[in-house]
Structures are given as structure tokens and as C-alpha cells.
Structure 1
Amino acid sequence: MASRVGNRWKFTKEWEKAVNALRVDCECEIVLTGSNARLLSGELTTLLAGRYVEIQMFPLSFDEFLEFRKDSGEDIHKSFDAFLRFGGLPGLHELQASPRATAQYLNDVFNSVLLKDVVSRNNIRDTELLNRIIQFIFDNVGSTFSAKNISDFLKSQGRKLGVETTYNYLDYLENAFVIERVKRFDLKGKKYLETQEKIYAADVGIRNSVLGYRPSDIAGILENLLYLNLRQKGFRVSVGKMGTLEVDFVASKDEEVLYVQVCYQLTPENLEREIAPLKQIKDNYPKLVLTLSDLMTGDIEGIKVRNLVDFLAEPIANF
């Protein structure tokens, strides 16, 4: 069923059939938007098979964030601090940088997504348990995990949740674009691993609105931002495993591969530890270490060390 409101159409039951009818009867482009990955599932996919292009929308990348703030007069480092704290939702830039309004906006967006696309859609009754799972995930961005880790954590708090049910909750959150799950890739065996994946928040501002911004979490937040930036630049991303060592990100696009490590403060003391996984990789694809330590930038045995802020600020169109 469909009804027209102004110059827009409002669909209720069997809306996918109405969309298909419009496609057949009208010479027009149809844009469908939704906040859940299940939009292009079921009958809609059958009706529009081969006739649609799916475009996943991300929060603003840092270069887009800078474009919104270009008239503010602030330097790039102050803008980056704001990006770390508040993330990349475009609606932030209508709030005139009011901290209270920003916090309320992020909280409202999170609660809206949680209630509409997670709780209601999946008939979840125990919202308090769901919130504990979300807090655990956001508190451990960038750390390898298993569903058993979450179950054990809840058990320590007097709550029981089976591993299978935990995976269901993770699916619900991923379908609602609250989180993204990243598999590990064995660089020696050339295969994806089924255990110890990583989870990142779909927006660090949402993550910080749930937990509060804590400077002690900076390493995980930087890793989260870099993951999102690689995805925004069109890369498929996995976590690399090289024996007992780990490469933060293996990013691939077309026939190209990029290996990336991110390190908050790179020093002579931790330099070898950070580049060791990259030195084990013998192919000729680019290898990067990204850091906030300007004094450590340069080239080390073919591994480029660059400033993380500069990398994030590069326009997506360049990739």
C-alpha cells in the first residue's frame, strides 16, 4: 500500500511491490533509504534483481568533517580533537558546537536506533542486558573477542546468556549499523579465520556518548577511526595474522593491498614491535605505520611511517 504526502510517497504493507510498480510505470530514478541492512532482503531483492545499486552510507570521514568546519577558523588539530570526541554524524554541524546539544543529539540518535532497529525489530524484551552487551563491545573496540568472552563477562555480573544468543544480539546490532565485525585473515595460510574477530563502532561519537569520552581509550578510538576511514575509502578490511604477530589492518581494493599499523605514540622503544609484523610480509604491496608522533615519520626498510591525522584528512576521492 502507498499514499502520497506532498512530493513523497509513504509506503506501508507490501511497499516493495509498490516500488516495483513505480519502477515499471514511471520514467524516474527511485532512491530507497533505510537504517537497517535488511532493507534489500526478501521480496524486494527478488523484484528488483539486477536493477538496483546498493550504496552503504558512512558517517563523515575526517576530510568531510573538515569541510563542514572550514569557516570555524580552528586548526586541524583542534578539529581532530572534536572528531575524536564527537564522531562524524552530519547533524552535529547544525548544533553550533554546543557540548550539551551535541551530547543530547548523539544520545537521541543512539536511543532511536536502539529502540527502532534493534529492540522493536527483533522483539527484544531484556533491554538492560542488551545495553550491557553494547557497553562491553564499545569498551573493547580494537580487541579480539569471541562470543564466549561476552558470555563470560555477563556471567561475572550475574547474568546468563548463551553463546548462540550472543551471536544473535551481535547480528542485530550489525544489521542496525551500530557495530561492524571484522574477521581475521591468516596471511600465511591465505584464509579467513572463524574465531577471534574484532568489533568496531560504526561511529565513535555514538560510542563515546554511551561510555563517555576517556583519554585512556585513545588507542582503541584511533584504531576505530582508521578502520572506518579505510572503509570510507572503499577498501575491504580484515585483521591480519602473521604467525603470533598481528597486522592491524589488511585493506584491499581491486587488485591492490595495503597493510596498516596504527600506533598512538611511536617511540624508539616501541618502533621495532610495531614494524615487526610488517617486516614479515614479503610481497611488494605498500606497508604503513600511522602515528600521532610527527618526529618518527619517514621510511624504515621500505615501511612508510606517516602522521595519522594527515592520512585521515586525505580526500576520499583520491583513493
Structure 2
Amino acid sequence: MNRKKQLKVRHKYLEQLIAFKDTEPVKVITGIRRCGKSSLMLLMQEYLIRQGIPEEQIIAINFESLTFQEMTYKDLYNYVKNKVTTENTYYLFFDELQKIDQWELAINSFRVDFNCDIYITGSNSYLLSSEYSTYLSGRYVEIKMYPLSFSEFIDFHGYQVTEYKTPMGHVKKRAVNEQQDIVELSDLFDAYMRYGGMPGIADVGLEQDKAFILLDGVYSTVVVRDILERERNRKGRQVTDAELLRKIILFLADNIGNTTSFNSISNTLVSEQMIVNREKQGKPANQTIAAYIGALKETYLFYDVKRFDIKGKEYLRTLGKYYIVDMGLRNYLLGIRDRDRGHALENVVYLELLRRGYDVAIGKVDTLEVDFIATTATEKLYIQVTETMKDEIVRQRELKPLQKIPNNYKKIVLSMDLALDDEYDGIHVVSIVDWLLS
């Protein structure tokens, strides 16, 4: 097991794995490249050893290693079979398993033939597409992993949040590192918005050149290895034009938080002469766009959010939105800028809602829009995100959709710049930074 460096613990994800330890379901950790899946597997292995599990009962394979790149599913089965020498429980860890063709046959055989507890990771949701998950007969649990939350970002960069009392008697928060250097949370949040939450940023430091080199590696791996190479190896190839793929990525990154359709993307690309309008050839451009965006969603680079008619109580088929998995990747792609900070803040809030286990939709109430409807089995939230609540016009604009919702679920406005009032007719106004750390 690789223990060259002390791994930072991401408690939420590790606790999820521990909760399912020694249960039948295969534990499947999914998420974009470099978001921490391999480290989580190592943390789980370290936990098992602390619990007294002998190392011989832990079998771990990273399929990124050249040692295993020529392995077939039958080779994998035999490799594990030769290491299972007792009736004890064996813990099997397979990193980037999607590289093994017909991997699901080996996994099912392990479940049938051995006393084992199985953990796998994948950087592509194709791993759990219906044709594959059928082989597991629903006997798996998915642990969805994301880049660092703001709270984790603070921890990974060596700071702790502390409270202090102002001369006016208010309790405020700030960050302190081991050297007792004090940093304002707003400054750390600015760094988070610029560099994003890829764990590797903590290793290279908050320097733009180094951070962007790391992010270039993430982007290239996702696009070249997880999309273009996989498309070359699968039947019915659709995503083959690297330049077109990049243009679609840039369009989506530039339009986070904007209502978008395949048609609007296609029209923009056609107008820029980046794609030929193929309708005359009987091959609509929209189908091409849909295939490319599907590949981007499969690799967790982008997420789409549907619209929900709050009064009509139904999902709408048109004009959803897209958000990118990490703001650092967006800044790497488009360059540092501040002109659409409102949508960038929306993006951060959206990812945090996913981390907290909410299902998220965009709300429509009459002709107005609610940024997010966030629901779990026991809770529903209506959320607006805005840069400021001090401007009267902006304040009325953000409050109006929430005021029109005809129910008593909790309504929140998240803002960077608060006015004196923290409540308007039952609508709570909360600092985005405080909410992220709550």
C-alpha cells in the first residue's frame, strides 16, 4: 500500500464507506479525475489495518499502473483467486476499473465465489450505465465524490476556522494556520473561487502557473483519455472531433447558469463556423451536440439541471442549465475574470448542494425564476444566489420569486454582500461563506 505521504482525511466520504463495510453491495466511488477517489481508497485501507485486518486480506489494484494495463477480466479473476487463501473476509479495491473490458463479469464472480467486500472507483458514469449495472443486479451503492468543498479547501491548505468577538459584541470567523497567521475568510474564498477545489492544488500551492499546470493535466486526461480514446474503442463512435469538443466545452464553461438548449449551442457554433449545419445532409447538428454533451456529463465535467414549474408541479423539457464541476477548471479554460461573478457563485452553491445530498432543480414560478429547488426525502429549500443584497433593485428582484411561491417551505437568499436585515417576510438572508461553512 502506498503511504508515501500523509493523506488528508475527507471525513464525509470515508464515513460513508465505513458505514457500508462488510455489507453485500459493491461500493462504487464515482467522480471526475483527480477529485480524490484513489486517496479515499487508500484511507479506507488504512482504516481497515487500524481495525486489525491483516494486509494479506487487502487486495488493491490501480489500473492506471502499467503493471495491470494489459489485464483482462479473466486475468483479474485469476490474480485475485491466487491471493485468496483462507476463508476470512478479503477486501478488494479496484481503482479506475472501467479500463477492464467486461469488468462486471469478474466482480460478479468475486461476489459469488469468495468471502469478500468490494470497493471500486470510476471516472466515467459509463461504468454504471444500465447495460453494466444490470450485471450487478442492483447490488451496489454509489458514493458520489466531488472536488473539495470550501470547508475542505480551508483544511487542505493548512487553516482552521476560529471565532472571535468584535468590539461591537458580534461573533465573527476567521482562519488561522499552524504559524498563527490570520487570514480573512473572504480572502480564502477568493482563492477558492479562482483555483477551485481539486485536492492536488494543495500540493502545488496557490500560485496560478502551478495550479493551471495541474488543471491542464486534469482537463487533458478527461478529454483525451476518458472521452476521445474511449470513443475510439467503443462501438457506434459519435464523439471524434477534438476541436468541436473543445468548442462545446468552452461554450458550456462560458454559459454556466444561463438557460441553454442544444439548439442555442448549435446556432452559436454554426454562426462562428465551428460546425457545419448538417440538417441538409439529414444529420441534425442538435444530435451531434447532444452526443458531445452526453460524453462531458459522463466524465463528470459538467452537470445539467432541469427546470421545475413550481405551481404546475412538473418538470419542463426545455431550457435547463449547465454547471461545471470545478471553478478552477473554468478559470483555466476561460482565463481569470470577474464579469459574471453571480453565475460563478451559483456554480459553487450548486456543487455544495450536491455534496450535501440534495436533488437540485431550477424553479419556475409564473414568469420568474428561482435559482435552486433543493430537496431530500425530508427537506425542501428554495434558494436564490446573488452577489449583493444592498442594492434595492437587486434585493427586490431576488426576493420577488420567493415571495410568489405558495407554500411554507424554507426560503433562503445566499449573498456575498449583506444588507442590515437578515429576514424579509420569512425569507432568510445568509452569507454564502457562512452557509458553505455551516
Q: Structure 2-normalised TM-score?
A: 0.68
Name the counterpart of 1:134: 249
Is the CA contact (8 Å cut-off) linking 1:262 and 1:289 kept in structure 2?
A: yes
Query: In 1, Cα distance between the equivalents of 2:75 and 2:207?
Result: 40
Matches within 5 A, 1:31-110: 31-41=119-129, 44-71=132-159, 72=177, 73=181, 74-110=183-219
Tell me, what secondary structure is at the counterpart of 1:33?
Answer: strand
Q: Does 1:149 align with 2:264?
A: yes
Name the CA shift for 1:226/1:39 in 2 (closer, same or farther; >3 Å): same
Is the CA contact (8 Å cut-off) linking 1:122 and 1:172 kept in structure 2?
A: no
Deviations 1:246-304, CA, capped at 9 Å, x for gaps: 00000001132100000112222321111000000121110001111133450101001
Is the CA contact (8 Å cut-off) linking 1:2 and 1:12 kept in structure 2?
A: no
Amino acid corresponding to residue 272 of structure 2 in structure 1: Q
Amino acid corresponding to residue 324 of structure 2 in structure 1: A
Query: In 1, Cα distance between the equivalents of 2:429 and 2:408?
Result: 16
Following superposition, the deviation at residue 95 of structure 1 comes to 1.1
Q: Does 1:227 align with 2:227?
A: no
Worse-superposed segment, 199-208 or 72-81 = 72-81
Name the CA shift for 1:200/1:13 in 2 (closer, same or farther; >3 Å): closer
Query: In 1, Cα distance between the equivalents of 2:101 and 2:204?
Result: 36
Following superposition, the deviation at residue 42 of structure 1 comes to 5.1
Q: Does 1:305 align with 2:429?
A: yes
Following superposition, the deviation at residue 193 of structure 1 comes to 0.3
Following superposition, the deviation at residue 202 of structure 1 comes to 1.2
Name the counterpart of 2:75: 2
Following superposition, the deviation at residue 225 of structure 1 comes to 0.4
Name the counterpart of 1:121: 230
Amino acid corresponding to residue 55 of structure 1 in structure 2: I
Query: In 1, Cα distance between the equivalents of 2:202 and 2:365?
Result: 42
Query: In 1, Cα distance between the equivalents of 2:201 and 2:129?
Result: 31
Q: Does 1:25 align with 2:113?
A: yes
Is the CA contact (8 Å cut-off) linking 1:297 and 1:304 kept in structure 2?
A: no
Name the CA shift for 1:8/1:225 in 2 (closer, same or farther; >3 Å): closer
Larger Rg: 2
Q: Does 1:295 align with 2:419?
A: yes
Query: In 1, Cα distance between the equivalents of 2:107 and 2:200?
Result: 29
Q: Does 1:180 align with 2:295?
A: no
Deviations 1:45-68, CA, capped at 9 Å, x for gaps: 233213211111111111111221
Amino acid corresponding to residue 236 of structure 1 in structure 2: D
Tell me, what secondary structure is at the counterpart of 1:283?
Answer: coil
Following superposition, the deviation at residue 83 of structure 1 comes to 0.7
Name the counterpart of 1:317: none
Tell me, what secondary structure is at the counterpart of 2:318?
Answer: coil
Name the CA shift for 1:164/1:13 in 2 (closer, same or farther; >3 Å): closer
Query: In 2, Cα distance between the equivalents of 1:157 and 1:43?
Result: 38
Is the CA contact (8 Å cut-off) linking 1:182 and 1:238 kept in structure 2?
A: yes
Name the CA shift for 1:288/1:276 in 2 (closer, same or farther; >3 Å): same
Worse-superposed segment, 192-201 or 266-275 = 266-275
Tell me, what secondary structure is at the counterpart of 2:221?
Answer: helix
Name the CA shift for 1:13/1:122 in 2 (closer, same or farther; >3 Å): closer
Name the CA shift for 1:95/1:19 in 2 (closer, same or farther; >3 Å): same
Unaligned runs of 5+ in 1: 315-319
Tell me, what secondary structure is at the counterpart of 1:270?
Answer: helix
Is the CA contact (8 Å cut-off) linking 1:250 and 1:257 kept in structure 2?
A: yes
Amino acid corresponding to residue 217 of structure 1 in structure 2: D
Query: In 2, Cα distance between the equivalents of 1:134 and 1:22?
Result: 39
Query: In 1, Cα distance between the equivalents of 2:295 and 2:101?
Result: 22
Query: In 2, Cα distance between the equivalents of 1:13 and 1:237?
Result: 33
Tell me, what secondary structure is at the counterpart of 1:144?
Answer: coil
Query: In 1, Cα distance between the equivalents of 2:194 and 2:240?
Result: 31
Greater RCO structure (CA 8 Å; 6+ sep): 1
Is the CA contact (8 Å cut-off) linking 1:184 and 1:192 kept in structure 2?
A: yes
Deviations 1:1-48, CA, capped at 9 Å, x for gaps: 234499976873432211222222332221110100011235542332
More strand by share: 2
Query: In 1, Cα distance between the equivalents of 2:343 and 2:290?
Result: 22
